Amino acid sequence: MRKFSLVAFSVEHPKLIVVLSVLLTMLFATQFPKIRTDTNPKNMLPATSDVRVWNNKVEKTFALYKDVIVLGIRNEKGVLNPSTLASIQRITGRILGLKGVAARDVSSFETIDNVTSNGGTLDVGPLMPHAPKTAGGIDALKQQLFGNPLFIGRIISRDGRMAAIYVPLEKGANGRQIAGAIRKIVKEERNPGDEYYIAGDPVARDTFGAEMFKLMAVFAPIAGMIMFLVRYLMFRDIFLSIVLMMDAMMSIIWSMGLLIGLGFPIHIMSSMAPVFLMAIATDSMHIFNEFYFRYREKRDKKTAIIETMNAVSRPVRNTALATAAGFAVLMFMHIVPVRIFGGLVAFGTISLRLLSFSFIPAMFTFVKDRNLERIARSEDVDAGWTARFLKRLAGLGIRKPAATAAAGFLLFAVAVIGITKTNINNNLVEWFKKGSDIRTADTVINRSLGGTDTGYIVAAANEDGYMKSPEAMRYIEGLQKDLERLPVVGKTTSVADYVKRINYVLHGNDPRYYAVPPTEQMIGQYLFLFSMSAKPSDLDNVVDYPFKRANIWVQLKTWDARAMKDVISEVARYKAAHPTPMVFKPAGIAYFNLVWNNEVLWDMVKGFAFALIVVFAILAWDFRSLKWAVVGYMPLLFTIVLIYGVIGFSGKDFDMPISVLSTLSLGMAVDFAIHFVSRFRRRLAEENAAGGRPDKDLIAESLLWTAARPGKGIMRNAILFASAFSVMLFAPLTPYITVGAFIVSMMMLSSLLTMIYIPALVTLFSGWLFDGGRQ
């Protein structure tokens, strides 16, 4: 009974314990100035992951940019008017001057090259060297724009109402900062009728990362304040509310200090740790809950403390163990920030428990008896509406166990049907709320242009030079046509488009020649001519140096991870129907997002399954009985199935944030069952001092007592937990709303189900559970 001695020691030497705790906290706090942050959600996958290595290789081979910002300029009356064009020219010039922008490859009217035919002369040069001021100049530009299919849907919308500027970023540039600078530039334009939209993966990603940190800095304190307030309303004692808050704060400082001290950057995942630790800290509620009951019975502080700790130490210790284990399994996952987060919260949970057995009992000794008297008076098992409500809940399960179980089974079955309807998908842009700048910009641009999300299909042949063959060109052309039939694909671009363009121009703009030429020699010479008439990177972007590999650009109209999946399976289908020596591999940001989401998602699902097993094992070990473990497990399992059933039916995508949550919530939701079962069995053993098989009435009475007394602690815990997380429902980012809604419903459901179904199951299976007199 080491724990017992720690409690006794703390009660005997409260000042020493408090001083020690504060000193230790200060020690960990000294690490804080070394803080480093990593706001890029992409870093969830290590730089050495296959997809990042492959994407880097593709980017290098084809001189591509990882990150591109799209600026859409829209005018209801059409952008091809002198003032909008002059404005586009000014904006382009200023964007070229921004640090972090790969100026050499910015695509805009002003910087993009065009080759046109004019009698026997080829005109080569920038599409719009100067913004035209006359009607004639505008007409000429219009002709050039709409006469080149490469431009339509890319830099100009088919209806002429939107123009786009593509801003590639240098490695390591911050998309949010550059988007901010562009926003400032366009704000100064004030051209009547012009609207501006900024989109692209780096904007969404970097904004999300930054917002997430900001939200954590705002939400953690708000959640803390709410918990403080709710606790005060529950116990009407400022001092104890502060103690509980300090308990949470200390564990947060310890674990964050350790993380920073070990040199890890604070990643998005670990930035959520404080809120989780605050929520986990609510478990000490059971100590308070019991303490007031005991104090009312004994009227002696020290005895009450020690007796309280005796009664609750086991469930408190084991719930901590279950929670810590639930998070610790994350340390065996594949994704590094997830592993760090798991270790971080597991460490925090254990620190919390350590404090529960030392700091909290020590602080109890400082409370004035008069205050305790007042609070304890309100804590009565028989009186109070809470107790009556809880007894009624438990009574439902005790009186009509079969009906309750049957109703539960029915609900369970329906929920399972819901789960089969689950939609696995992820959409980075939809992490922002409807109506937010980023989401609006994306929708508007996607409506007019080829799409803001880009994927690549890399075609690879066995021999150098193959891509110059008419056969390869025609194949790629056919594949593009096929892909463009997919509803998610807005536009595709490949080396074949360039060859066709040159063929057309060399033949005096004869539409019959907008086709792949018949000989390899022609293709080779056209490509050479193309390299003389455009930026060298234009050709590099679509074909590699030895002409062994070609890169097909696929612009997608949605950020759904599913869209790229559709493209990949369509490519496979096309290849199966049209044999070719070429092989096709996906790449690009759309592919990265697909893989990233899948990896995190499946890693989490794996972690979830693993946590389910570990939690069950802990229950079995804690109760020293498989049977009781099954009973304790039921409310948890039921809660999870219900929630996922609702998600399945609602049509909400099962996405990365939800998968992350599943794993996290497991270790926390099982707490209630542990408390209930432990306290019930302890009570039963005390009441049934004679031993032997307990009779039905005794079981029912003990169940009701458990529901009313530790049950009150469970309800308080759930409410506190839920109120802390309910703050997130007001967040501007949808994953936070999801986290909030998920945890609030999980806590409320699992506490309710614990109160209803454990009594029902115990009553129903009392014969089996108390078989041979074992409890």
Partner 1 sequence: MKRFIFTLVIALLPASAFALSPGAQEIMTKSQAAFYYPGRDFKARMMMTLVSAGGQKRIRELTMLRKNFPGGNQKYFIYFFQPADVKDMTFMVYKYPDRNSDRWLYIPALNMVRRIAASDKRSSFVGSDFSYEDVSGRNVDEDTHTLVKEEKLGSKDCYVIKSVPKEADVEFGYKLSWIDKKTYLPLKEQYYDKRGQLLKVFTADEIKTVKGFPTITKRTMKNVQSGHSTQVIFEKADYNLGLPGNLFSERFLKQPPRKWIE
Nearer to partner 1, 61 or 580 (CB): 61
Compute the distance between CA of residue 757 and CA of residue 357 in angstroms, rounded to an integer.
31
Supply φ then ψ for residue 557, to 5 degrees: -90, 0
In the bound complex, what is the minimum distance in angstroms from residue 72's beta carbon to partner 1? 24
Helix 710-726 and helix 696-708, axial crossing angle in degrees, nearest 10 = 40
- What is the CB-side half-sphere exposure of residue 710 using CA atoms within 13 A? 27
Nearer to partner 1, 539 or 764 (CB): 539
| SS3 state at 485 | coil
Compute the distance between CA of residue 681 and CA of residue 673 in angstroms, rounded to an integer.
12
Nearer to partner 1, 168 or 490 (CB): 168
**Alpha-carbon distances of 570 from 58, 460, 567, 593, rounded to whole Å:** 21, 17, 5, 18
Does residue 510 interact with partner 1 by CB under 8 A? no
Nearer to partner 1, 359 or 547 (CB): 547
Stretch that binds partner 1, among 91-99, 177-185, 321-329, 751-759 (CB under 8 A): 91-99
In the window 345-364, what residues touch partner 1 (CB under 8 A)?
A: none
Among 195, 540, 566, 701, interactor with partner 1 by CB under 8 A:
540
Nearest in space to 505 (alpha carbons), one of 259, 82, 149, 89: 149
Number of H helices, E strands in the chain: 31, 13
In the bound complex, what is the minimum distance in angstroms from residue 528's beta carbon to partner 1? 5
State the binding string over 276-295 for partner 1 (x if CB under 8 A, else -): --------------------
Token pair 């990896």 is found at 599
In the bound complex, what is the minimum distance in angstroms from residue 358's beta carbon to partner 1? 58
Single-letter amino acid, residue 221: P
The number of residues that bind partner 1 (CB under 8 A) is: 46
Single-letter amino acid, residue 88: I
Compute the distance between CA of residue 539 and CA of residue 716 in angstroms, rounded to an integer.
66
First to last CA, the chain: 22
Does residue 30 interact with partner 1 by CB under 8 A? no
- Alpha helix (H) residue ranges in 134-237: 135-146, 175-187, 201-235
Among 46, 536, 732, 773, interactor with partner 1 by CB under 8 A:
536
In the bound complex, what is the minimum distance in angstroms from residue 151's beta carbon to partner 1? 17
Token pair 């001057």 is found at 97
Stretch that binds partner 1, among 96-104, 237-245, 489-497, 715-723 (CB under 8 A): 96-104
In the bound complex, what is the minimum distance in angstroms from residue 174's beta carbon to partner 1? 16
* Size (the chain), residues: 775
> CA 566 from chain center: how many Å?
23
What is the strand order of the sheet 194-199 is part of?
Answer: 162-168, 68-75, 194-199
Among 13, 400, 535, 606, interactor with partner 1 by CB under 8 A:
535
E strand or H helix at 490: strand 489-493
Does residue 519 interact with partner 1 by CB under 8 A? yes
Compute the distance between CA of residue 444 and CA of residue 451 in angstroms, rounded to an integer.
10
In the bound complex, what is the minimum distance in angstroms from residue 127's beta carbon to partner 1? 11
Nearer to partner 1, 143 or 519 (CB): 519
Does residue 245 interact with partner 1 by CB under 8 A? no
Is the distance from CB of 173 to CB of 101 less than 8 angstroms? yes
Does residue 525 interact with partner 1 by CB under 8 A? yes
Token pair 């123009």 is found at 163
Token pair 């304790």 is found at 632
Does residue 172 interact with partner 1 by CB under 8 A? no
Compute the distance between CA of residue 615 and CA of residue 594 in angstroms, rounded to an integer.
31
Compute the distance between CA of residue 490 and CA of residue 474 in angstroms, rounded to an integer.
20
State the binding string over 41-60 for partner 1 (x if CB under 8 A, else -): -------------------x
Does residue 393 interact with partner 1 by CB under 8 A? no
Compute the distance between CA of residue 222 and CA of residue 665 in angstroms, rounded to an integer.
21
Compute the distance between CA of residue 515 and CA of residue 504 in angstroms, rounded to an integer.
8
In the bound complex, what is the minimum distance in angstroms from residue 63's beta carbon to partner 1? 6
Among 31, 37, 43, 61, interactor with partner 1 by CB under 8 A:
61
Nearest in space to 668 (alpha carbons), one of 607, 567, 746: 746
Among 524, 575, 606, 752, interactor with partner 1 by CB under 8 A:
524
In the window 590-629, what residues touch partner 1 (CB under 8 A)?
A: none
In the bound complex, what is the minimum distance in angstroms from residue 536's beta carbon to partner 1? 5
Stretch that binds partner 1, among 78-86, 95-103, 147-155, 703-711 (CB under 8 A): 95-103
In the window 450-479, what residues touch partner 1 (CB under 8 A)?
A: 468
Stretch that binds partner 1, among 4-12, 121-129, 354-362, 708-716 (CB under 8 A): 121-129
Is the distance from CB of 239 to CB of 371 less than 8 angstroms? yes
Among 24, 86, 122, 381, interactor with partner 1 by CB under 8 A:
122
Among 20, 86, 96, 614, interactor with partner 1 by CB under 8 A:
96
Nearer to partner 1, 105 or 307 (CB): 105
In the bound complex, what is the minimum distance in angstroms from residue 124's beta carbon to partner 1? 5
Among 123, 139, 297, 695, interactor with partner 1 by CB under 8 A:
123
Does residue 751 interact with partner 1 by CB under 8 A? no
Does residue 506 interact with partner 1 by CB under 8 A? yes
In the window 541-580, what residues touch partner 1 (CB under 8 A)?
A: 544-546
Does residue 201 interact with partner 1 by CB under 8 A? no
Nearer to partner 1, 122 or 444 (CB): 122
Stretch that binds partner 1, among 122-130, 203-211, 231-239, 288-296 (CB under 8 A): 122-130
Token pair 């050709």 is found at 539
Does residue 539 interact with partner 1 by CB under 8 A? yes
Stretch that binds partner 1, among 118-126, 145-153, 624-632, 763-771 (CB under 8 A): 118-126
> CA 228 from chain center: how many Å?
27
Nearest in space to 603 (alpha carbons), one of 210, 173, 165, 269: 269
Stretch that binds partner 1, among 239-247, 329-337, 533-541, 697-705 (CB under 8 A): 533-541
In the window 97-116, what residues touch partner 1 (CB under 8 A)?
A: 97-99, 102-105, 113
Does residue 174 interact with partner 1 by CB under 8 A? no
Torsion of CA 484, 485, 487, 488, to 10 degrees: -30
| Two structure tokens written together for 369 | 């008896």
Compute the distance between CA of residue 179 and CA of residue 185 in angstroms, rounded to an integer.
10
Token pair 């842009």 is found at 429
Among 440, 531, 745, 775, interactor with partner 1 by CB under 8 A:
531
Does residue 36 interact with partner 1 by CB under 8 A? no
Nearer to partner 1, 60 or 158 (CB): 60
Does residue 184 interact with partner 1 by CB under 8 A? no
In the bound complex, what is the minimum distance in angstroms from residue 57's beta carbon to partner 1? 8
In the bound complex, what is the minimum distance in angstroms from residue 144's beta carbon to partner 1? 13
Compute the distance between CA of residue 694 and CA of residue 763 in angstroms, rounded to an integer.
12
Token pair 């809470």 is found at 386
Does residue 140 interact with partner 1 by CB under 8 A? no
Full 3-state SS string of 700-733: HHHHHHHHHCHHHHHHHHHHHHHHHHHHHHHCCE
Residues 6 or more apart from 563 whose CB is under 8 A from it? 453, 488, 489, 556, 557, 590
User: By the criterion CB under 8 A, which residues form the site for partner 1?
Assistant: 60-61, 63, 96-99, 102-105, 113, 118, 120-126, 129, 170, 468, 506, 517, 519-525, 528-529, 531-537, 539-540, 544-546
